[in-house]
Structure 1
Amino acid sequence: MKFINIGSGNMVAAERVIALASPDSAPIKRLVSEAKEEGRVIDASCGRRTRTVIVTDSDHVILSALRPETISNRLYDSDAADTDDEEDTPV
């Protein structure tokens, strides 16, 4: 089973991901709102601005602070679980 780092040390199973979307459009905002009401939202953004909405095959909606392009690259990279999160770099 391949896991993808979605930021802040959080991982998601790659084969469970159905879609990656930007949270800015009205349909995605509505999807997130409905999922919150039904208790299907997992907020993995750790208080940061949500940049990606991840939809899984179990109808869960995961919020991530990483850009969709970053997660997409990790999804198709063979060693995605081993890459460091850009948020964890020392200042």
Structure 2
Amino acid sequence: MKHQQLLNIGFGNFVVSSRVVAIVNPSSSPMRRLREDSRKDGRLIDATQGRKTRSIIVTDSNHCVLSSIQAETIAQRFGSNNEDEQDD
């Protein structure tokens, strides 16, 4: 049985790596719109623990997960998870 790889998005929060479509910086106007649209539609998950949003993770179910970890840091963790998966 294959186990799901989890991606640490900070402060004890995780997402399933295989469901991640994009990891983006939240500062651009299109990303702010994406965040607001997700909030209106009930697809926004806030995992910032009250801190500043530094990245948005978009999933294949069209959910947006807010994280207070930099997008680059999460991308590095995502890359390491994929390398570990290939080793199995």
Q: What TM-score, normalized by structure 1, do the two folds share?
A: 0.84
The runs of 5 or more residues in structure 2 that have no matched partner are 83-88
Check the 8 A contact 2:7/2:81 in 1, yes or no.
no
Over 3 Å counting, the alpha-carbon distance change for 1:23 and 1:2 in structure 2 is same
Residues paired across the two proteins, number: 79
Distance 1:78 1:72 in 2: 10
Distance 2:57 2:20 in 1: 7
- Determine whether 1:71 maps to 2:69: no
Distance 2:35 2:81 in 1: 29
Q: CA RMSD in A?
A: 1.1
Distance 2:20 2:53 in 1: 17
SS in structure 1 at match of 2:80: coil
Q: Which runs of 4+ in 1 moved over 3 A?
A: none
Distance 1:11 1:53 in 2: 13
The runs of 5 or more residues in structure 1 that have no matched partner are 80-91
More helix by share: 2
Q: What TM-score, normalized by structure 2, do the two folds share?
A: 0.87
Over 3 Å counting, the alpha-carbon distance change for 1:78 and 1:18 in structure 2 is closer
Match of 1:62 in 2: 65
CA deviation vs aligned residue, 1:2-25 (integer Å, no higher than 9, x gap): 001100100000000000111100
Match of 1:84 in 2: none
